[in-house]
Structure 1
């Protein structure tokens, strides 16, 4: 006989929400490491002492963590998920009868007290400290890289860069435009490069028009990660324009902030060749005493069959080059009454051979066929490049190059699992908020994977 389910006739139920959340559920495992006790202390100066009680900021923080850990991009959809999902209710301490706040509450708080207090940065750093306490951060080797995230801007509504003017905006300008104007002198945004972009989006002027992916160009921001290569824990994150100069500047900001905030100073730093300029290598080697496990960015190699700079031997003590035929290339061939630095506008020193030596040389056609003598430029920071080249043959460099791939895996996880392929929020502050929350979620998931003990989490209040 076919059965039929009927509604139970009980009037009262004994229902414990905690009993219905599996021990291996992601939110239960994350909850072991999430301590939001300091949230109210950090936000207290930004709340009024009178009036109706606000929505608990810890509730909003927990809901945002649910959204970014689960890849829920819409806050309206997030409110529906927390309302319906038992595990989300348990994690947010709502019980069965707790009321879920309206989605508009997040926008009001984000544009106000959350950004004024920099609470999302505080939340991220709290999780990094927990990772350190759990022994997931070695502190010896770091890796840095950047990835492009599409901005919420439309090419069809953009204007050519040469027609864009930064003046003429009044007090009623949009939030994204006000933030853009406020970051014109910021090294990570407006001051990163004097080159005007090809197109500018009036909806989000700070977003960079870029074709770096070798496909269709688009407006984007760059999320910069500094990770500890031991367990791929993100120790810092920074938003910047999607250009190399801004990304290199962001790496320096993150290294200094990590040392100041956590006392972490890596022995070596791994990165790709975009970070291998002479100036950046000099900053790492001379100013921060960090070994650069970075391919040198060098355009001195020639492809026309003539000798490259690497074919000339430099003598550091005597400050001259020696050509393959044993002749000297020097900066000056006579003494000047007023000493000259010999530094060009490009930040190099120019070493020249003797014209008579070159004219009589059998290798002139292979060295300088189109000029009377050979000139070899040497960057002011070429010694830092030489230090990076010397490290490239060590076993530690090979290990760092392999471990550097972990940051690429984090970016893949960010876009495919957490679904952060396109920003919802506009302006530098919006990009910063999203990148901080996403990095926080990734570190929490790392803790849940490597350190969480099933069934060991405390009972929620």
Structure 2
């Protein structure tokens, strides 16, 4: 049954709290600045009208925030609530009230409330920051950081064995004999390979597992129609085998957390887990929106969703957006241009021709309507054809311009322009390929030459500072929970707490400045 803490203190409790809690305590400041009572109305439908009284839902949400303010676990926060006077005051518990245990906290987080409630808390805190004039500008920054999965990254053979053993474990619950026989058959098939050779490639293990799973499907068909735990175990094992054998990119890396993914930051440096993509206000450093994905999802894909998320939630359209080079796909640049948003995204250095001083694409002038091109020698061509290249990054076709070989043969710049191989020209007429949205690229190249652009790049440390705070003080280095959905909720709480603390610091600095 829905229940609210009374919040009324007797004279003794009031005296104790006033004497022991400093006026400048962080929780006192949070209580003065932010209102959490809106959660009562939003969460009321989550509770029954009959039964025992529940724990106050706002108190429970505050407990989840306290976990990430002070980087505590469910067990640790339950203990601190019993002994910490400031915690009890913040949660509106009297001296004699009992707080929730760690099981109650876990139940509230995983079963009582949903993903939308974590989103609601985050957006409501941002709206309060906007109402208090903490977020003032329309200049935003976008970036991402990794959140490591709380799992090991085993070898291919060990990963398969873990998946097979998990399937056998679930079979054992409804047919122990089948589970035992299935594991013996699997081991027997693998042993045959090692009898023939000392080293066996993982592919042999996976092909064997595929055959075993196919035979198992018929034997356990009925269980696969309704046994959720067995379905999950079988599906993970089958997907693991299928993605390995067919060399699919989106490979499973953990049986414990099958939604975590791996990506390579360099040839020797791998990262496993998830990403926290955020968009912040450049001046206040308040996080305005976030998206969470597996780690192998490219950063560039989340730029526009973040911009649109801010527009949808707060009706704020940015004037300019700053981001790393990886976000500088043609699609992103074109989308920002179409939305009339200034792009502060740098370009990768062109390698073609740089080392030997030859001309690059940037030395050729493109007309505004992208219907003609002028070479460094002043020759204009309007000969082109449109080509489409399959790409996940750019959905726009390319335009191939071709210069007449008669001009190129007699051009004084041909040594710096035409491609050579072993001191022989391999092309007669110069060809240049550009995107059909070169208008967006040209706009951003012009912007990149301005002082305003350099100033924006020099402020990139601000968003990095938000990530550093989360990793060092808010427990965001590693996931606490298993799966993308639960990780999203954790990161939403981290982002919410980051905003709360940042807002308090801003208000303090304003008060000091006006004192």
1:130 to 1:318, Cα distance in 2 relative to 1, 3 A? closer
Deviation, 1:250, is 2.6
Deviation, 1:158, is 3.7
Residue 433 (structure 2) aligns with: 377
1:317 to 1:410, Cα distance in 2 relative to 1, 3 A? closer
Residue 129 (structure 1) aligns with: 127
Q: Secondary structure at the match of 1:403?
A: coil
Q: Secondary structure at the match of 2:33?
A: coil
Deviation, 1:436, is 0.8
Residue 343 (structure 1) aligns with: 387
Q: Deviations over 1:60-104 (max 9, x none)?
A: 1111111111122x1111111222211111111122222121212
Residue 209 (structure 1) aligns with: 262
Instruction: Tell me the distance in 1 between the aligned counterparts of 2:370 and 2:504.
Output: 58
Alignment of 1:199-238 (within 5 A): 200-212=253-265, 216-238=269-291
Alignment of 1:142-291 (within 5 A): 142-156=140-154, 158=159, 172=227, 196-197=249-250, 200-212=253-265, 216-243=269-296, 245=298, 247-286=299-338, 288-291=339-342
Do the aligned partners of 2:320 and 2:344 also contact (CA within 8 Å) in 1?
Answer: yes
Deviation, 1:59, is 1.4
Instruction: Tell me the distance in 2 between the aligned counterparts of 1:210 and 1:220.
Output: 9
- Whether 1:51 and 2:54 are equivalent positions in the alignment is no
Residue 39 (structure 1) aligns with: 39
Instruction: Tell me the distance in 1 between the aligned counterparts of 2:86 and 2:139.
Output: 37
Residue 3 (structure 1) aligns with: none
Q: Secondary structure at the match of 2:458?
A: helix
Deviation, 1:308, is 0.9
Instruction: Tell me the distance in 1 between the aligned counterparts of 2:340 and 2:232.
Output: 39
Q: Deviations over 1:35-59 (max 9, x none)?
A: 1212121122222222212221111
Do the aligned partners of 1:277 and 1:297 also contact (CA within 8 Å) in 2?
Answer: no
Instruction: Tell me the distance in 2 between the aligned counterparts of 1:344 and 1:440.
Output: 43
1:314 counterpart (352, 366, 385)? 366
Instruction: Tell me the distance in 2 between the aligned counterparts of 1:172 and 1:393.
Output: 62
1:238 to 1:406, Cα distance in 2 relative to 1, 3 A? same
TM-score (norm 1): 0.82
Residue 421 (structure 1) aligns with: 477
Do the aligned partners of 1:225 and 1:238 also contact (CA within 8 Å) in 2?
Answer: yes
Residue 189 (structure 2) aligns with: none
Deviation, 1:439, is 0.9
Instruction: Tell me the distance in 2 between the aligned counterparts of 1:387 and 1:412.
Output: 33
Residue 198 (structure 2) aligns with: none
TM-score (norm 2): 0.74
Deviation, 1:214, is 6.9
What number of residue pairs does the alignment pair up? 421
Instruction: Tell me the distance in 1 between the aligned counterparts of 2:328 and 2:308.
Output: 18
1:454 to 1:27, Cα distance in 2 relative to 1, 3 A? farther
Q: Secondary structure at the match of 2:433?
A: strand
Instruction: Tell me the distance in 2 between the aligned counterparts of 1:67 and 1:203.
Output: 24
Deviation, 1:301, is 4.2
Q: Deviations over 1:284-312 (max 9, x none)?
A: 111x2111111135757434523211121
Deviation, 1:349, is 0.6
Do the aligned partners of 1:65 and 1:441 also contact (CA within 8 Å) in 2?
Answer: yes
Instruction: Tell me the distance in 1 between the aligned counterparts of 2:291 and 2:456.
Output: 22
- Whether 1:293 and 2:344 are equivalent positions in the alignment is yes
Residue 76 (structure 2) aligns with: 77
Instruction: Tell me the distance in 2 between the aligned counterparts of 1:25 and 1:319.
Output: 65
Do the aligned partners of 1:142 and 1:266 also contact (CA within 8 Å) in 2?
Answer: yes
Deviation, 1:142, is 0.7
Deviation, 1:380, is 1.6
1:139 counterpart (137, 140, 162)? 137
1:380 to 1:158, Cα distance in 2 relative to 1, 3 A? farther
Deviation, 1:273, is 0.7
Instruction: Tell me the distance in 2 between the aligned counterparts of 1:228 and 1:36.
Output: 23
Structure with the larger RCO, 1 or 2 (CA within 8 Å, 6+ apart): 1
Do the aligned partners of 2:287 and 2:499 also contact (CA within 8 Å) in 1?
Answer: yes
Q: CA RMSD in A?
A: 3.3
Residue 88 (structure 1) aligns with: 87
Structure 2 unmatched ranges of 5 or more: 1-11, 161-201, 218-223, 240-246, 391-396
Deviation, 1:141, is 0.5
Structure 1 unmatched ranges of 5 or more: 1-11, 185-193, 333-340, 456-461
Do the aligned partners of 1:244 and 1:274 also contact (CA within 8 Å) in 2?
Answer: no
Do the aligned partners of 2:262 and 2:296 also contact (CA within 8 Å) in 1?
Answer: no
Do the aligned partners of 1:206 and 1:428 also contact (CA within 8 Å) in 2?
Answer: yes
Deviation, 1:364, is 2.8
